[in-house]
Amino acid sequence: MTALLLLSLSAQAAPMAGVDFVPFGRGDLTWVDSDQLSGTLVSETDGWLQPPLTAWGGFIKSHSAVIFGLAVARVTTTTLVAGDNGDIQKSVVHTGALRSSVDYRRYFGERKVGRPSAWGSAGLWGVVPSARRKSDQYTTEEQTAADDTADQDRSRIGAAGARVGLGAELLWDTGLALGARYDVGAQLTRVLESDATVAGTLVSSEAALTMSFTFR
């Protein structure tokens, strides 16, 4: 069904691109102060994967638009140590995330230059995690423990969510549009601990300023 929707919208559709700005607020400070960060630096709520300013692209046709987002964060530390016999032993610690999203936007009326246009939207997103801990110095038991830690890192990074929202924009004849949106979303997580699996849900709202360009 989604593929049919994308194909129907892509025919004779105008490409569009834009950025959303979500200011850093007291909620973000509270999240950090309460020690809620994942410890991996690259999860959805750590701030690198989803910074205050995010970019997106898509296409619009008539009253409908489909918007795609793609973000990446990756941290890799490589340590080289000279062994007793002169050989070089390497240790690698890596965490990373790839976030993709798709949103469908439906305008309530015709999108006209010089007049505000309102829309409703719904979207899905997911984070694909990666983590690795390897060292030439590890014994078999130490490498097994490191693999378990990497599994826990991946579980902290991986997430999925959905959102619905409303927005409005003012379009100029140059194709530039300035506006704002307000969304309510839910995020699902599943964290592996040493003796348990912890599932969590975070429901929150978000307001953003938007700027977009439509290329006709």
pTM for this prediction: 0.87
Range of the domain at 13: 2-214
Q: How confident is the model at residue 126 (pLDDT cuts 50, 70, 90)?
A: very high
pLDDT at 2: 52
- pLDDT at res. 7: 53
HSE (CB half, 13 Å, CA atoms) of 102? 6
pLDDT digits 0-9 by tens, 59-81: 999 899 999 999 999 999 999 98
pLDDT, tens only, 6-56? 555 555 789 999 999 999 877 777 777 787 888 899 999 898 999 999 999
CA–CA distance, 107 with 16 (Å, rounded to integer): 15
Mean pLDDT, rounded, for 110-115: 91
Residue 186 sits in a domain whose CATH number is 2.40.160
Q: Residues 157-185: what's their mean pLDDT? A: 97
The pLDDT value recorded for residue 161 is: 97
Q: Specify which residues 102 forms β-bridges with.
A: 68, 124
Tally of domains within the chain? 1
Q: What is the percent of the chain with per-residue pLDDT over 70, rounded to a whole number?
A: 95
* Cα 140 from Cα 125, distance rounded (Å): 37
**% of residues, the chain, pLDDT over 90:** 72
Angle among Cα 102, 104, 107 to the nearest 5 degrees reads 150
Neighbours of 167 (CB within 10 A): 20
Query: Which pLDDT belongs to residue 20?
Result: 98
167: nearest Cα among 110, 116, 216, 131: 116
Q: What does the pLDDT read at residue 24?
A: 85
Query: What are 169's strand-pairing partners?
Result: 117, 179
- Residue 154 burial (C-beta neighbours within 10 Å; 0-12, 13-18, 19+): buried
